[in-house]
């Protein structure tokens, strides 16, 4: 299993409603009937996976995540139809033709060769099955650009430079090309959400649960606090807090494919 940051379900759960909206929008585009078997790859703390029980009340659902902390938190949602297991999405596989729906939400952006994984996902689907993908596409946003810039500076660079780098993510057209070649009918799109966040330095609190976490964890005590203070100050300038909250534009990329 590949090295992964130690994720915090509590920090990730900050702004849960805003984080959950793309998942709901993704699942609404899956028009599957008679669903009996569902896998959520990169299930996180399990709350969103649990909502799939309402979408497909006859299905057995499995959530997979590489973080022991996330899987432990997800167990509170487990029941006779919903289970969670530790596993790396990069190495995941299932018997050919065994699944009705595969969902992977805000996970594949961490994997450089993610497009190479898609044929295996499609093979795991039965004919007529569905694959649904959502990834962040905001790598050029100030939140990420500032993070990379600071991580490349001394005294942080020795520890953090490599942890700030992210793979280039595919666009909607890339998903269409790859999944169409695997015999799927593909619906792909992108959208920018304008999240209205409450609280002091809200964007810092947002990224501490996701994109900035590997960088912060790479830094030793003391230097971590120094980095976070400098990063937070620059984020507060880039995303000013207004009387009504802090506006965070966030681009996301979606693909929903049905196997012929």
Q: What pTM value is reported for the model?
A: 0.92
- pLDDT digits 0-9 by tens, 28-59: 999 999 999 999 999 999 999 999 999 999 99
Buried b (16+ CB within 10 A) or exposed e, 96-127: eeebbbbbbbbbbbbbeebeebbeebbbbbee
Closest by Cα among 143, 10, 132 to 69: 10
Which has more confidence, 118 or 3? Answer: 118
- pLDDT digits 0-9 by tens, 186-206: 999 999 999 999 999 999 999
- pLDDT digits 0-9 by tens, 133-147: 999 999 999 999 999
Average pLDDT, the chain: 93
What is residue 167's DSSP assignment? P
SS3 196: strand
* Domains, the chain, with CATH or none: 9-138+166-198+245-259 (3.40.50.150)
CA distance linking residue 211 with residue 139, whole number of Å: 9
Residue 154 confidence (pLDDT) above 80: yes
> 223-238 and 142-151 helices cross at what angle (nearest 10)?
150
Which has more confidence, 172 or 209? Answer: 172
Residue 1 confidence (pLDDT) above 60: no
- pLDDT digits 0-9 by tens, 239-253: 999 999 999 999 999
Q: What local confidence, expressed as pLDDT, does residue 5 receive? A: 64
On whether the CB atoms of residues 115 and 174 are closer than 8 A, the answer is yes
Alpha helices in the chain (DSSP H): 9-12, 16-28, 47-50, 52-55, 68-74, 114-124, 142-151, 157-160, 172-181, 202-208, 213-218, 223-238
For CA atoms 18, 224, 213, 168, give the dihedral sign.
positive
Q: What does the block give as tokens for 66?
A: 């590489």
């Amino acid at each position: 299993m590949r090295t992964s940051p130690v994720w915090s379900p509590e920090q990730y759960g900050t702004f849960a409603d805003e984080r959950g909206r793309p998942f709901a929008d993704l699942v609404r585009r899956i028009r599957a009937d008679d669903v009996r078997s569902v896998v959520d790859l990169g299930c996180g703390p399990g709350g969103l996976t649990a909502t799939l029980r309402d979408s497909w009340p006859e299905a057995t659902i499995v959530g997979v995540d590489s973080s022991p902390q996330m899987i432990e938190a997800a167990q509170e949602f487990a029941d006779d139809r919903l289970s969670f297991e530790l596993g790396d999405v990069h190495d995941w596989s299932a018997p050919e033709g065994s699944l009705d729906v595969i969902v992977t939400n805000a996970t594949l952006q961490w994997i450089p060769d993610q497009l190479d994984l898609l044929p295996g996902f499609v093979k795991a689907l039965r004919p007529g099955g569905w694959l649904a993908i959502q990834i962040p596409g905001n790598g050029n946003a100030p939140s990420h650009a500032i993070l990379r810039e600071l991580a490349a500076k001394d005294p942080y660079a020795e520890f953090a430079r490599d942890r700030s780098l992210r793979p280039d993510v595919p666009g909607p057209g890339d998903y269409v090309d790859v999944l169409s070649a695997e015999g799927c009918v593909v619906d792909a799109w992108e959208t920018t959400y304008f999240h209205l966040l409450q609280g002091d330095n809200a964007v810092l609190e947002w990224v501490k649960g996701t994109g900035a976490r590997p960088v912060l964890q790479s830094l030793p005590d003391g230097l971590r606090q120094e980095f976070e203070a400098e990063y937070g100050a620059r984020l507060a300038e880039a995303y000013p807090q207004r009387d009504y909250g802090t506006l965070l534009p966030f681009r996301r990329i979606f693909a929903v494919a049905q196997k012929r």
